[in-house]
Structure 1
Amino acid sequence: MNPSYEQAQPWSISQWLNTVAPISLESLRGKVTVLHAFQMLCPGCVSHCIPQAKLIHTAFPSDKVQVIGLHSVFEHHEAMTPVALQAFVHEYRLGFPIGIDQADPADPIPLTMRAYRLQGTPSLILIDKAGYIRLHHFGQIDDLRVGAVIGQLLTE
């Protein structure tokens, strides 16, 4: 492995949606992991990130590529509760696992967001089969570019 790639950090998740058991990064070794960080009140997330995550989830085989939603709330904490997120997930028909980033009582930035040095939402992180970060992108990113990188990672 190229030493310039950073090892992905474990996630700090307070609650999981759309999965019967918690998901660890270690349990996804051997798969390409697509981590989409979003907030349900983020316009770019709703218009681009969520549709892109749904598209990736349906376009690639689940035994090869795992989409994980990361709901990272760093603003409007009172409005974005787990109950509101559950309604959002239902209304947008999101079928992939979604973890609620663990809040830090002393800091408005949640723990996983801080560990991954996310600048905001939407953010996309592609993690290769060995657990290394291969793409770290803040903002919208073209579907074709993401698909090409996922395809490359699948061949490695």
Structure 2
Amino acid sequence: MNLKKAPELITTESVNGGDVPPSLASLSGRVILLECFQMLCPGCVSHALPQARRADLAFRKQGLVVLGLHSVFEHHEAQGHRAALAAFMHENRITFPVGIDAPATSGIIPQTMTRYGMQGTPTSILIDAGGHVRLQRFGSITDLELGAAIGSLLNEAGQPGASTKP
């Protein structure tokens, strides 16, 4: 299997993560769900962020790390402020760390979004304990499919409590 190494995140600030934006290097050896979103994206608000929140609550004890990536490529005036994102996260009871994607150096697509070749938001990315992208999905993914993929990667990583055996 030829796996793609997950590119490092290029973020400027964070919400729910302290002073230092989240990085993949600091989470080496962990299974990561990275949820790329925009506050004004209907699919992000109605499906992707609630799903990421459920995954965080369901798999945190088994070793899953959930990170958000706020990638603004439209409506910058409405979405481009850390305070607005912090209020949005609080109102939606999202407690996992969220990095703010660095603005585009050319064009409109933010830097991390470009590195991953994302088509838009929402995009869900699963990164295995070895730091490889194992799933990257633009749009929606069912809870069952995402949960099975997370469980498989946790088992593969040997995370405590991740066994699917009864």
After superposition, the C-alpha distances for 1:30-49 in whole angstroms (9 at most, x for unaligned) are: 21100000000000000000
- Asked whether 1:111 is paired with 2:142, we answer no
Query: Could you list the per-position Cα deviations for residues 70-99 of structure 1 after superposition, in whole angstroms to 9, with x for gaps in the alignment?
Result: 000111111102221111011111100000
Higher normalized helix content (fraction of residues) = 2
Which segment is superposed worse, 55-64 or 41-50?
Answer: 55-64
Q: Which letter does structure 1 place at the counterpart of 2:16?
A: N
Structure 1 distance, partners of 2:62, 2:100, is 23
1:43 equivalent to 2:45? Answer no
- CA shift, 1:104, in A, is 2.0
Determine the structure 2 residue equivalent to 1:12.
Answer: 10
Aligned-residue RMSD, C-alpha? 1.2
Question: TM-score normalised to the size of structure 2?
Answer: 0.89
Deviation at 1:22, TM superposition (A): 3.0
The question of 1:86 aligning with 2:55 is answered: no
What corresponds to 1:100 in structure 2? Answer: 100
What secondary structure sits across from 1:78 in the alignment? helix
**Count of residues paired in the alignment:** 154
Question: 2:77 and 2:60 mapped to 1: Cα distance?
Answer: 37
Larger deviation: 32-41 or 102-111? Answer: 102-111
What is the TM-score when the length of structure 1 is the normalising length?
A: 0.95
Q: Which aligned pairs between 1:1-156 and structure 2 lie closer than 5 A?
A: 2=1, 4-20=2-18, 21-62=20-61, 64-80=63-79, 81-156=81-156
Listed as ranges, the gaps of 5+ residues in structure 1 are none
AA partner of residue 30 (structure 1): G
Unaligned runs of 5+ in 2: 157-166
The runs of 4+ residues in structure 1 deviating greater than 4 Å are: none
